[in-house]
Amino acid sequence: MSTLTHLRHRPSAPPLVVFEGLDGTGKSTLAAHVATRLGAVLLASPPAAVRPFRAAADEAFPRDSASATLFYAASVLRVAEELEGHRALGLPVVLDRYWLSTRAYARVLGVDLQLPEVERLLPRATLTVFVTAPDEVRAARLASRGMCAHDRDSLVPANANALDTAYRDLLRRPLAGRVLRLENVGRTVDELTASVLEALARPTSASRSRLRLSAA
């Protein structure tokens, strides 16, 4: 049995905390802080091994094509194999983007491949943190770091609304585990990190928890 298959069915595996959300919500910064506090391995999708090929793939495969979706699906499988290698050693993992991002962006682009075989291979998150922020906050953050085509597309109101709707629908899937909806506005990164750690520490109930924390 592969490490991926073995750990996917092991309830005592170290936690997997996933951060999802639109570009510019601050999820990557928050993921890094949470990883530091947990002493966890920080990974991102696409993983480092795949990232050098991303530009070539984006050029070769039209964004609204099944081929592009399959490239990103393969990237998620690769990071899943990597993260479960760390968990096999007893290390918690924090992951910046996962399967929900692949599905949400593909759905908005009109290529909603279901790919159930891929989803069945993926480890379930212990906690998925869905980070949101007002459009004007997202725009300022993206402008400060330098925007790519993906970033600009996510700021188009129709696209942003469609992505938000797709994410909220996909968060109901068992793969997401427990879900924390976190609004990243008016709070420090330390306060947000504390909210994530508090949610992670709560006992898992028989039914999947749905937590919502936002700025006071």
Q: What confidence tens digit (pLDDT) does each residue in 170-213 have?
A: 999 999 999 999 999 999 999 999 999 999 998 765 344 445 44
And the tokens for 185?
């506005």
pLDDT band at residue 26 using 50, 70 and 90 as cut-offs: very high
Asked if 25 contacts 184 with a C-beta cutoff of 8 angstroms, the reply is: yes
Question: What domains can you pick out in the chain, each with its CATH number?
Answer: 3-187+197-213 (3.40.50.300)
Reference 15, options 171, 168, 204; nearest CA is 204
Q: How many CB atoms lie within 10 A of CB 105?
A: 24
**What's the mean pLDDT when you consider all of the chain?**
88
* Backbone CA torsion sign across 83, 85, 89, 90: positive
